[in-house]
Structure formats: C-alpha cells, structure tokens
Amino acid sequence: DARNHGGSPHSPLMTYEAMSLDVQHLLTRLGITKCILLGHSMGGKTAMTLALQRPDLVERLISVDISPVSTAPVSEFSAYVSAMKSVKIPDGLSRSAARQLADDQLCPVVQLPQLRQFLLTNLVEVEGRYIWRVNLEAISHHLADIMDFPVFHKPFPGPALFLGGSNSPYISSKHYPEIQRLFPKARVQYIEGAGHIVHQDKFEEFITAVLNFLPPP
C-alpha cells in the first residue's frame, strides 16, 4: 500500500519523490537489489518515478493505465475525494448496511458502479465507527502533485510496458512522444473493453498481458 492508503502509515507529505523513496526503503528491507515493478494509476507514476530515479533497481517496468504526464481532468478526482469526505454513516450499523449507505451517498458523484466498489474497499470499521482508511486530507491537499508528474531528462533504459484500458483516456496517442522520450524501450498495449481499473474489469486478460511481458523463467 502507498502512504496514506490501505494499511500503510499516514503522512502529510504525498509526492512522487516521497513515494518512490518509500518503495526504495521497502526494497532495501526486503533485500531486493533489482525488481520488476508494476503500478496502477498513482502507483504507476510512483513506479515510473523510481525507474527514472534509480534505474539500477528496476529490471522492467509495467505502468497500468497511466502515462508520465499531467493527468487531467483533476476535477473528477477532487469531486470523488469531496464525495468520500461528505459520507455520513451512523455508528452501530452492520458492515453490509454501512457499505450500502456509503454507496448510496457516493452514487450521485461517482456514477460508475465499478469505481464506487473500488472506493468502498477503503471503508473500514474501527471501534464500531465507519471511517475511510485513506488519508483524504493529505490526498486532497496534494491532489495537484498526484495529478502531475515530476520532470526527468534521463530516460529509463530497460523494457517498459504501458498497459491501458481501451475505454480509458489515461494512455492516449498524444502521450506517446513523452512515453518514448522517457522509456525508449516501451511498448503500449490496450486491453479491449477495460476502463481505468484494468485489473478489475478484465482480470484474465490483464494477467496474460503481464505474464507475456515478463522475461522467460
């Protein structure tokens, strides 16, 4: 889990440089000297940042449905964060009732059911109260950083796969020159019928594409 997500600690700082360092520290702790790195969306930008900062640590890179550019529109993400912040759930509800209530409250802003289900995985019960385990304050404060991408001049020399959903705008042909500049050995592949959350929408096809990109054992 990235900082401010899942079971990882919360921090007021939320930049790609900071998140890249988190991964570097994790690799050191696990004793991994070189890895194949896969990241989705914000995680993809973190993976790209690490590969560009420390190419010695990354053998191959897989960026899932994200390009090394500023991501627009910011507005929909800030709307999702605001919608999550405004969810009100009374104490003492069962987990299924709490999820249903949160789902109903998110529905007007987050219209895609798959995306609501994805966001609702962050709803957790702590001592009888339902809270979001993501640090919404830090995320909303750093939304411009998260949507942006750091400036790099030296390319990553290893193989890279940009794996997009055919129904998603986040790896577009207008990004190809920048992908090519920073990742000269990149190839771009789309999974037919998948949206932004490629691995949820088309799981089998996603796994096949990833396995095909890995070096032979």
Contact 197, 171 (CB under 8 A): no
CA dist 153 and 181 (Å) reads: 9
**Residue 202 is inside which H or E element, if any?**
none
Of 214, 200, 144, the residue nearest 167 (C-alpha): 200
- Cβ-based neighbour number of residue 106 at 10 Å: 20
- Which H, E and C letters describe 130-180, residue by residue? EEECCCHHHHHHCHHHHHCCCCCCCCCCCCEEEEEECCCCCCCHHHHHHHH
- For the residues of 21-85, what is the DSSP string, one character each? HHHHHHHHHHT-SSEEEEEETHHHHHHHHHHHH-GGGEEEEEEES--SS--S-HHHHHHHHHHHH
Contact 155, 184 (CB under 8 A): yes
For the annotated catalytic residues, the residue numbers are: 41, 137, 196
Token representation of residue 205: 């096809």
Torsion of CA 132, 135, 137, 143, to 10 degrees: -110
